[in-house]
Amino acid sequence: MTDVRISTEGRLGRIRLNRPRALHALNTAMCAAMLDALEAWRADPAIEGVILDHAEGRGFCAGGDIRMIGESGAGDGAAARDFFRIEYQLNHRLFTYAKPIVAFMDGVTMGGGVGISQPAQLRIATENTKFAMPETGIGLFPDVGGGWYLSRLPGHIGEYLALTGARLDGGECLAVGLATHFLPAERLDHAKIAIQADPVFAEDALEAFSAPAPEARILSHRAEIDRLFAGDTVEDIVAALAADGGDWAIAQAATLATKSPQALKVSLKLVRDGRYMPTFEDEMRQEYAVATRVVQRPDFAEGVRAAIVDKDNAPRWHPATLDGVTDHVIDQIFAPLPEAEAWAPA
């Protein structure tokens, strides 16, 4: 069984993630295969659009191959660097693709799944969508373009999602702009058939099958998010949450207390930098430099141990407190790589 099914159906290119036991988490070979398919279709006049979905199971894509990245990061990091390089080239290719791409976020859409769905011009949420960038919980950060996408959400929703790893449902994704359409899952097959018939007018097909989305619960906390996650530093945000004293603020403070202090500071800087990043290529170049360093630091190894290996969900972060993560360390993590090692588009 191949981990990704690639085919053409009439005027449409089809990419179907097919690793259901891993919730379609991406590995290096899957990213390379998708990158090759997109390149082949790019110059093929017979292909007018692309659909990106999953073949079976409850997840669209749960992320990347964290176990492999963790094992590599504990060693020389070469396999992790290779994965990030190819995955980010795929993210960039999707972002710059001239032909319409329709991504069906039907199910778990986290980490790497965000990276391959958000570049699509048309992004479909359903009642099954569970969207999150939960990387601070394993000592990582919202990569795959997270700095670009989260920084462009309304107000300070991007900071909130990046730091807490909060999950959004399909209605919430539509409300904040992470999805362009909401379709009941039972209508997806019909929509795909309509798109296949005329890929150029995919948006019209989606409009025809769309339905009213559920109420977006995140909007009821919009004022609190914008006020409490506006601080210049993570320390400022934590202090604002503590000073507020409301139930919602207390819950967010408790969540942040479980996250890697280093990852929190990296993630906040990533979102704040992303807001002013000149191009998506620049974003990917910075994220690659950050990722290749973070995966070889102690917190990522500890996060993988706690979440994936021992599954005790009791990580022992180092440093254990925010004040232990110095500006010097953050500057080292974000420093550009030497030209010979830096990321570049495919």
Q: Could you tell me where the beta strands, DSSP code E, fall in the chain?
A: 4-9, 12-17, 49-54, 59-61, 101-105, 108-110, 122-125, 130-132, 181-182
pLDDT score recorded for residue 56: 82
Judged by DSSP in three states, 344 sits in coil
pTM (global) more than 0.85: yes
* Position 340 in a domain: no
Determine the Cα–Cα distance for residues 125 and 53; give it in Å rounded to an integer: 12
| Helix 78-96 vs helix 280-294: crossing angle, to nearest 10 | 160
Determine the Cα–Cα distance for residues 179 and 173; give it in Å rounded to an integer: 5
Q: Please list the active-site residues.
A: 64, 112, 135, 143
* Position 221 in a domain: yes
pLDDT score recorded for residue 180: 98
pLDDT score recorded for residue 248: 98
pLDDT score recorded for residue 202: 94
Q: What CATH number is given to the structural domain containing 222?
A: 3.90.226.10
* Position 339 in a domain: no
What are the residues whose beta carbons fall under 8 Å from the beta carbon of 247, sequence distance 6 or more? none
* Position 130 in a domain: yes
pLDDT score recorded for residue 31: 98
pLDDT score recorded for residue 58: 82
pLDDT score recorded for residue 329: 97
Structure-block tokens of residue 305: 């141990």
Angle at 58 between CA 22 and CA 169, to 5 degrees: 115
Give, for all 346 residues of the chain, the pLDDT tens digit: 599 999 999 999 999 999 999 999 999 999 999 999 999 999 999 999 999 999 987 889 999 989 999 999 999 999 999 999 999 999 999 999 999 999 999 999 999 999 999 999 999 999 999 999 999 999 999 999 999 999 999 999 999 999 999 999 999 999 999 999 999 999 999 999 999 999 989 999 999 999 999 999 999 999 999 999 999 999 999 999 999 999 999 999 999 999 999 999 999 999 999 999 999 999 999 999 999 999 999 999 999 999 999 999 999 999 999 999 999 999 999 999 999 999 999 9
* CA 108 distance to own-chain centroid: 11
* Position 345 in a domain: no
In the sheet that holds 122-125, the strands lie side by side as 4-9, 12-17, 49-54, 101-105, 122-125, 181-182
Kindly state the DSSP code that residue 214 receives in the 8-state scheme: P
| Helix 247-256 vs helix 157-164: crossing angle, to nearest 10 | 50
* Position 344 in a domain: no
Domain housing 265: 4-334
pLDDT score recorded for residue 1: 57
Determine the Cα–Cα distance for residues 275 and 145; give it in Å rounded to an integer: 12
Closest by CA position to 175, among listed 217, 232, 223: 217
What's the number of domains the chain is made of? 1
- The b-or-e profile of 308-323 (16+ CB within 10 A means b, else e) is eeeeeeebebbeeebe
* Position 101 in a domain: yes
* Position 341 in a domain: no
Kindly state the DSSP code that residue 10 receives in the 8-state scheme: T
